[in-house]
Amino acid sequence: MTPALPLHYRPSLVALHWLTLLLLVAVYACIELREFVPRGTDLRRSLKDWHFALGLVVFAVTLVRLALRASSKAPPIIPPPPAWQQWLARLVALLLYAMLLALPVLGYLMRNADGHAVLLWGLELPLLIAENPSLAGRMEELHETIGNAGYYLIGLHALGALFHHYVRHDNTLQRMRIQSGRR
């Protein structure tokens, strides 16, 4: 007899999922709020530095999440959704993970191509590419485009979870719920 699959994601994955959400809120807030702060001010520079640093934390957390996901099976959705919904969920998850990896890499390289090192809370990280203003501009456009698309991807992901919970009445959202210690 094969062991039954768990009905929830492992606690470490659940914690990292919700940590990623909090980090994304902070990353997006830093860059959006920056637009309301006068250029050349310490606060504006600080918001940009926090945007970079938190973006790198998102990258690291995403690598850990992917390693944990690779080492465990996803709990089944009960009742199983139609094949097209499973396909769409996999596509959105793939695009979200691609975004979570691509944005920090592009941001890091963009900063380097702009002639600046990336600071991680005062620690200067190494330059990976030489200064190239033309490349920096193209990377900035791509970074901004993917970042803007991220709003839609995150929204689609959240709407999908709510659809499963309130319309399909399956356990999709429950699988990612933080579990209490009590049974």
- pLDDT at residue 106, rounded to an integer: 98
**Could you report the per-residue pLDDT of 29-65, keeping only the tens digit for each?**
999 999 999 999 999 999 999 999 999 999 999 999 9
Assigned domain for 106 exists: yes
**Could you report the per-residue pLDDT of 58-99, keeping only the tens digit for each?**
999 999 999 999 999 999 999 999 999 999 999 999 999 999
Assigned domain for 120 exists: yes
* Confidence grade of residue 2 (pLDDT, cut at 50, 70, 90): low
Assigned domain for 183 exists: no
Assigned domain for 5 exists: no
Assigned domain for 3 exists: no
Q: Enter the pTM of the model.
A: 0.91
Residue 183 has pLDDT above 70, yes or no: no
Assigned domain for 146 exists: yes
For residue 76, the enclosing domain spans 11-175
In this structure, the dihedral spanned by the alpha carbons of residues 62, 64, 67 and 70, taken in order and rounded to 10 degrees, is -60
Assigned domain for 182 exists: no
Q: How many independent structural domains does the chain possess? A: 1
Assigned domain for 54 exists: yes
Could you tell me if 104 and 52 are in contact, meaning their C-beta atoms sit under 8 angstroms apart?
Answer: no
